[in-house]
Chain A
């Protein structure tokens, strides 16, 4: 008689045998988290602590001075930081909304409609999952300039809308929806647009939030668009401002505290969004397989 082995994956309660895994994971997690904690503490350090010797990791007298300095600072042409922040927020929202809109409608069509070239289209998209935009930053610049979008606000939005991973995840998720639901709606006289907005999107909310998170992460931290396509300082993003700040004042005394504060502003929104969404993200990821 074979002894029935307990299933060890995804256990429901703690057992001593799991301890060995903690021994591996906890030091590793510490290594992963220390730079982030460092960023966090530095942002709240007063000047003398930032440059104390020996360096102190934890701040004893937290202060908002770095943030205040950052917000009072101006870019190279007297553009207040708040302008960059405002641009970043507006661009992020527009890109998120449009990517979701374009992505879900394309994904729904690819998943549930029949037309010629459908298989090929999805194959091309899957192939470009590995696409890294920086490899073709020069031709992209040429496309943008031919479209007359140089120095135009939209040049920071349009290139980011093509996101193969987003389409892929959405389509994989929509594939799981039963055809019967959509058929029923069609029989009841719903248009395709109605089906998309009233049935598909509400049913794939986890995938939509996951893609929204990935898009946000991508846009919020994007430096290339501002750097390559935009000349007017007042149109550039906070990510760009930050990269300029760190390269010009990187090691100066005043710069470091501000850079840490700026890093925190870059990091925290993305991180919070992930924490809020993490169970939906995990749900989406279980359909992420490429067959």
Chain B
């Protein structure tokens, strides 16, 4: 008994780290390694994987018509608008909120944050009714009443609108933890900084934001940027949830994440799906590198 106690006290750092590190390794590190490994194979989840070299990657960029024609452009469009767009929006909102007194600020911040806690499924339930295709849909009914449209539009199944709707909904739910981090960062900037800056000749709010606020909250800006990458790519299932089908109508709302699900869980081409996952991980990694380049401290 005493031996065990001694062991626990002597190697306490190992004991205290182990549970987290084990879970972290099992469910994050190893899956990423397996994904990379499987991406060089052909694997249908039943027979054992067959090594095929770079074939999957070559196929992604040369054979997969859906990928080059629809999915890559869609993903880039979606990622650029919801990622940097949502990020800039959440910084602006945080900055504006910081100009208000505490009571209204807290209330508005709670309202702006709350969409981000609606679960994926909930988002689909709510928005699919607002955009419902019959005349009882809220948007249709509103537009019909004001004579903007003559007949009800099938918002969610029409290729022309689906992407725009996905982007609106994703932006709606993008003011999450990163937004709160930036808000609290802005509120914590030492007021003397602004006073000193005013004496040194800064005379408008834009300069104040550019020369004081942003440099002072760089670490929070970086955290916010990383969180907005996470948010962008984890809400990428919206198209399928809203339109109710995978692939989405004419691939209009099809993003890389949906494409992976399509190949992995519907067609059981795990090797190919893994190669797609690696491409997606690569895209996310490039985005975060960019964020670190912009806001990281040079070491």
Contact = CB atoms under 8 A, between A and B. Distances in A.
Same complex origin of A and B: yes
Interface of A: 2, 4-5, 7-14, 18, 21-22, 24-25, 28-29, 31-33, 35-36, 38-39, 42, 51-55, 57, 98, 101-103, 105-106, 108-110, 113, 115, 121, 124-125, 127-140, 142-143, 147, 158-159, 161-162, 164-165, 167, 191-193, 196, 214, 217, 220-221, 223, 239, 242-243, 246-247, 250-251, 256, 259-260, 262-263, 266-267, 270-271, 274-275, 278, 281-283, 285-286, 288-291
A13 B280 CA distance: 48
Contact of A289 (B23, B219, B273): B219
B119 A285 contact: no
Given A32-B111, A130-B288, A164-B24, A289 B122 contact: no
Interface of B: 8-9, 12-13, 16-17, 19-21, 23-24, 26-35, 38, 93, 96-102, 104, 106, 108-115, 117-122, 124-130, 132, 135-138, 141, 145, 172, 175, 177, 180-181, 183-189, 191, 194-195, 198-199, 205, 213, 217-220, 222-223, 226-227, 229-230, 233-234, 236-237, 244, 257, 260-261, 264-265, 270, 273-274, 277, 280-281, 284-285, 287-288, 296-297
21 contacts: A9-B194, A13-B101, A18-B100, A32-B175, A35-B172, A102-B20, A103-B20, A128-B28, A129-B226, A131-B230, A137-B264, A161-B23, A162-B20, A193-B12, A250-B244, A256-B129, A259-B125, A263-B122, A267-B117, A285-B181, A285-B220
Nearest to B222: A290
B67 to A, nearest CB: 16
Contacts of B106: 278
Contact of A192 (B9, B99, B124): B9
Interface majority SS (helix, strand, loop, mixed), chain A:
helix
B74 to A, nearest CB: 17
Given A109-B13, A267-B118, 5 more contacts: A10-B191, A18-B99, A18-B101, A35-B118, A162-B24
B132 to A, nearest CB: 8
Contacts of A14: 101
A93 to B, nearest CB: 17
A38 B139 CA distance: 13
A220 to B, nearest CB: 7
B199 to A, nearest CB: 5
Contacts of B26: 143, 147, 158, 162
Contact of B284 (A98, A130, A267): A130
A30 B288 CA distance: 32
Contact of A25 (B97, B175, B186, B227): B97
Interface majority SS (helix, strand, loop, mixed), chain B:
helix
Nearest to B113: A274
B267 to A, nearest CB: 12
B235 to A, nearest CB: 10
A18 to B, nearest CB: 6
B131 to A, nearest CB: 11
Given A11-B99, A167-B20, A192-B9, A221 B121 contact: yes
B217 to A, nearest CB: 7
Contacts of B233: 132, 135
Nearest to A3: B198
A135 B260 contact: yes
Given A11-B99, A11-B100, A139-B34, A113 B13 contact: yes
B226 A290 contact: yes
Contacts of B218: 289
The residue among B20, B104, B113, B234 with the most chain A CB atoms within 10 A of its own CB is B20
B140 to A, nearest CB: 9
A9 B187 contact: yes
Contact of B195 (A7, A162, A286, A290): A7
B157 to A, nearest CB: 12
Contacts of B97: 21, 25
Contacts of B21: 106, 121
Given A36-B118, A164-B28, A285-B177, A138 B96 contact: no
A256 B23 CA distance: 39
A31 B183 contact: no
Given A29-B112, A103-B20, A260-B125, A115 B223 contact: no
